Amino acid sequence: MEKNKLKAVIFDLDGVITDSATYHYLAWKSLAGELGIPFDEQYNEKLKGVSRMESLELILQNGNASSQYTKEQKEALADKKNNLYKELIKQISPADILPGISSFLEELKANQIKIALASVSRNAPFILGQLCLDTMFDYVADAAAVPNAKPFPDIFLAGMSAFGLQPQNCVGVEDARTGIEAIHRAGMPAVGVGTPEEMQGAELVTTTQELCLDLILERLGMEI
Ligand code: B16
Ligand code: MG
């Protein structure tokens, strides 16, 4: 049987390229503290790959407080969190690129494989700039322009369509279950960064450190 050609790799940002979850956590923790809602690192895990407004909703629900706020008030709360988050992420630098990612991106470039970003974070372009990785990406999907957040496939499909490719020629890389589902719904094989328990269903489970072209081609049965 003929192997599918790998023509693009579509990356999630938070948890794959860099660990911005720590800053999301600190900003949400500050807001939850002001609102008198319990919030800890374990609960923060539920927010991985979840959009800003959906994250706020989950936090309010955890404090049985969702019905206490109007839509406008919720938007103001999300803005408040985001302003603090934007202050915190100013400290991100190239030293925060997760191990193995820079060499993997260079390997993809050297082999003319397209590189896209499919993050639901509206702060993704700023973070890529802080990491000095903006020129490595051929396409950065605009989270604000994508109608449905993960687990809907829209953001991965946006990355694929930007290159005029078919799903069988793309691979998605994610660290969140909701993201693995989004990749699969887009019809692409998924590489999960994390533990096998967390990344159930991914065609390849690995670490950023081990991520390389040979591993993907071999384990996903693809060629370049
Ligand atoms: P923002 P990803 C996601 O990034 C984060 O995992 C998630 O915790 C966050 O709520 C979401 O971005 C939205 O971020 O508030 O900056 O728009 O994993 O899709 O790269
Ligand atoms: Mg993520």
Residue 175 Cα: closest atom of ligand 1: 18
Residues with CB under 6 A from ligand 1: 12-15, 24, 47-52, 55, 82, 119-123, 176
Cα R_g (the chain), whole angstroms? 18
Confidence of residue 80 (pLDDT cuts 50, 70, 90): very high
Q: Which amino acid is at 188?
A: M
- Rounded to the nearest whole angstrom, what is the distance from the C-alpha of residue 96 to the centroid of ligand 2? 15
Atom 7 of ligand 1, residue of closest alpha carbon? 49
- Rounded to the nearest whole angstrom, what is the distance from the C-alpha of residue 11 to the centroid of ligand 2? 9
pLDDT for position 99: 98
- CB within 8 Å of 201: residues ≥ 6 apart: 180, 181, 184, 190, 192
**Of 160, 159, 129, 131, which is closest to residue 143 (Cα–Cα)?**
159
Residues 44-73 have pLDDT tens digits of 989 988 999 999 999 999 999 999 999 999
Q: How far is CA 93 from CA 12, 104, 118, 126, in A?
A: 18, 18, 20, 11
Mind telling me the catalytic residues?
12, 14
Q: Could you tell me the pTM of the whole model?
A: 0.94
- Rounded to the nearest whole angstrom, what is the distance from the C-alpha of residue 112 to the centroid of ligand 2? 25
Residue 17 Cα: closest atom of ligand 1: 20
pLDDT for position 1: 76
Token duo for residue 125: 């372009």
pLDDT for position 191: 98
